[in-house]
């Protein structure tokens, strides 16, 4: 199966400018690029789709160029937005760009020569207004620019000249990479089709003979219509400090039966036969969640590595069994990140009854007594039924945490 057929099987091609010619061109190694605007200090799960597609093309023998928009990031892309972006300072954009470079390097490995990283600030920041208007602006009519969806959707609410010009800046990126890096194709999400094809237009009008190509991928949504890459806490980030490896694992493990096979196609490097076998498991034995476990494992290894996977699986098993005493301090920080936390004022021994009230586990001493007497209170997974029980240093995991559970699922983390 060639790369185009593989992408089609996985449902990853939304639009392509000239499929027949592109198939022929991809018979030889081709340089292609995708842009990432530095609007945060981390990429997120939504960005991962295009990164994985770049990796697929790379494995097929082609050369990815990752372009971080240190220049365009100062402007803001109107695509897919109903309001103007808040403009960041140059220092913030530069810091974000450096963070994204480090993240992208994990996947594409720039140092081995099989991928290239560039920051479009290298050519955009030195571009004068007169040069821009003469060398880029004169090739585009207002009618052409106004016909693009990214502009059309903003006309009623209003779009500034700043964001209106973004399309031309991105077109100049493509031209610059075409001329200096022999880059023949730009890839991106389907909301980028207008910007990418504007680049093709500029390359053509500048008189270049070798054909350039555009390819876009669908914007992923869940089967229930909700936006992919979000959770109750917000975006799912690639940065382990923002989304822990355990949270990342759980995000994929919690994929619905209606979504999991598509996610396996989109995001993993499993073969067609492997995916089809898991699809049968979903249909015949959905309760075993074999496909979800495979998806969570593959995605955690891809983004965080084998050790992080082992840790995430260990946390999941401990929480499922209730045997939380086996967790390390670091695993507790991951697994109980969103659990109510009480910061104990000291490490002195404390009566369990009093601590339950102070930590908000029970609303009163009376309620605390009832909970203890009824066997509803667990400390580090062990039931405590003694009304005179005292918590000591032996009840602290890594001398820092005690995990209190009331009933089956209500956890409170005591941090010392």
Nearest to 217 by CA among 53, 32, 60: 53
Was 33 annotated as part of a binding site? yes
230 assigned binding-site residue: yes
Tell me how crowded residue 294 is: count the other CB atoms within 10 A of its CB. Answer: 21
Tell me: is residue 144 an annotated ligand-binding position: no
Residue 102 assigned to a binding site: no
Binding-site positions for L-tyrosine read: 33, 166, 170
Binding-site positions for ATP read: 230
Binding-site positions read: 33, 166, 170, 230
């Amino acid at each position: 199966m060639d790369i185009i057929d593989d992408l089609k099987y996985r449902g990853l091609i939304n639009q392509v400018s000239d499929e027949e010619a592109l198939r022929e061109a991809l018979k030889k190694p081709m340089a292609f690029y995708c842009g990432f605007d530095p609007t945060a200090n981390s990429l997120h799960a939504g960005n991962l789709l295009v990164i994985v597609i770049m990796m697929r093309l790379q494995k097929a023998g082609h050369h990815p160029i990752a372009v971080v928009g240190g220049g365009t990031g100062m402007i803001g892309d109107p695509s897919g937005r109903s309001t103007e972006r808040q403009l960041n300072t140059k220092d913030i954009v530069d810091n974000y760009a450096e963070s994204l470079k480090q993240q992208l390097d994990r996947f594409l490995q720039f140092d081995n020569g099989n991928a290239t990283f560039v920051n479009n600030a290298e050519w955009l920041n030195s571009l004068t207004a007169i040069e821009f208007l003469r060398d880029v602006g004169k090739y585009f009519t207002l009618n052409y620019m106004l016909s693009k969806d990214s502009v059309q959707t903003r006309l009623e609410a209003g779009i500034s000249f700043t964001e209106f010009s973004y399309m031309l800046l991105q077109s100049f990126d493509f031209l610059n990479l075409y001329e200096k890096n022999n880059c023949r194709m730009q890839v991106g999400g389907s909301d980028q089709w207008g910007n990418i094809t504007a680049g093709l237009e500029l390359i053509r009008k500048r008189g270049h003979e070798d054909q350039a190509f555009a390819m876009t991928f669908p914007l992923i949504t869940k089967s229930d219509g909700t936006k992919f890459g979000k959770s109750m806490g917000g975006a799912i980030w690639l940065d382990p400090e923002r989304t822990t490896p355990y949270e990342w694992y759980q995000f994929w493990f919690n994929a619905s039966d209606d979504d999991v096979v598509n996610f396996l196609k989109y995001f993993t490097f499993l073969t067609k036969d492997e995916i089809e076998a898991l699809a049968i498991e979903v249909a015949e034995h959905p309760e075993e969640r074999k496909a979800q476990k495979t998806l969570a494992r593959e995605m955690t290894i891809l983004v965080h590595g084998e050790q992080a996977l082992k840790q995430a699986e260990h946390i999941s098993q401990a929480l499922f069994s209730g045997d939380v005493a086996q967790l390390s301090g670091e695993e507790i920080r991951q697994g109980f990140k969103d659990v109510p936390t009480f910061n104990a004022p000291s490490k002195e021994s404390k009566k369990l009854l009093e601590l339950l009230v102070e930590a908000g586990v029970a609303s009163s001493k009376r309620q605390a007594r009832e909970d203890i007497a009824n066997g509803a209170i667990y400390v580090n997974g062990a039931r405590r039924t003694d009304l005179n029980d005292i918590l000591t240093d032996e009840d602290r995991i890594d001398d820092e945490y005690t995990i209190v559970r009331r009933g089956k699922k209500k956890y409170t983390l005591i941090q010392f």
